[in-house]
């Protein structure tokens, strides 16, 4: 190409589970940002709340994904406060790299007030 990033049909989604209750984390604010090269400057691309099933579908719509570094910012303290808990982590940021813009990426997050786990889902 002529220096322009190739854009693919890939998508990005997330799913947040409250492992303390064994339930989806509904209504949790999620922000998606992309690292601008040369960094470190982040550009916000999307802002969503998880649905009743704890999911955010299509944080990157088909055709929007580009190769690069991204982060998902989860407002966990706000979520836990809403349930009457304090949280050790005020927020969780998951930084990851998209190498193939055609792939469907799913980045789940498992949370409790004192721990979190993330992995590359399918």
30/46 Cα distance (integer angstroms): 8
The two structure tokens encoding residue 46? 């999307």
Q: Is 48 annotated as a binding residue?
A: no
Residues 25 and 18: beta-carbon distance below 8 Å: yes
Q: Is 49 annotated as a binding residue?
A: no
Q: In the chain, which residue ranges form alpha helices assigned H by DSSP?
A: 76-82
CA nearest to 87, candidates 97, 76, 98: 76
2/112 Cα distance (integer angstroms): 46
Q: Is 119 annotated as a binding residue?
A: yes
CA nearest to 55, candidates 24, 99, 92, 87: 24
Question: Which residues are annotated as part of the binding site for substrate?
Answer: 15, 55, 119
Question: Which residues are annotated as part of the binding site?
Answer: 15, 55, 119
């Amino acid at each position: 190409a002529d220096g322009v990033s190739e854009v693919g049909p890939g998508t990005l989604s997330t799913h947040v589970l409250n492992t303390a209750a064994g339930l989806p984390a509904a209504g949790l604010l999620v922000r998606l940002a992309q690292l601008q090269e040369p960094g470190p400057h982040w550009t916000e691309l999307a802002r969503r709340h998880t649905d009743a099933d704890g999911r955010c579908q299509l944080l990157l719509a088909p055709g929007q994904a580009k190769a690069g570094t991204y982060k998902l910012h989860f407002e966990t303290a706000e979520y836990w406060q809403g349930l009457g808990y304090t949280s050790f982590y005020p927020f969780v940021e998951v930084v990851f790299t998209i190498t193939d813009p055609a792939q469907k990426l799913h980045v789940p997050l498992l949370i409790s007030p004192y721990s979190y786990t993330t992995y590359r889902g399918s």
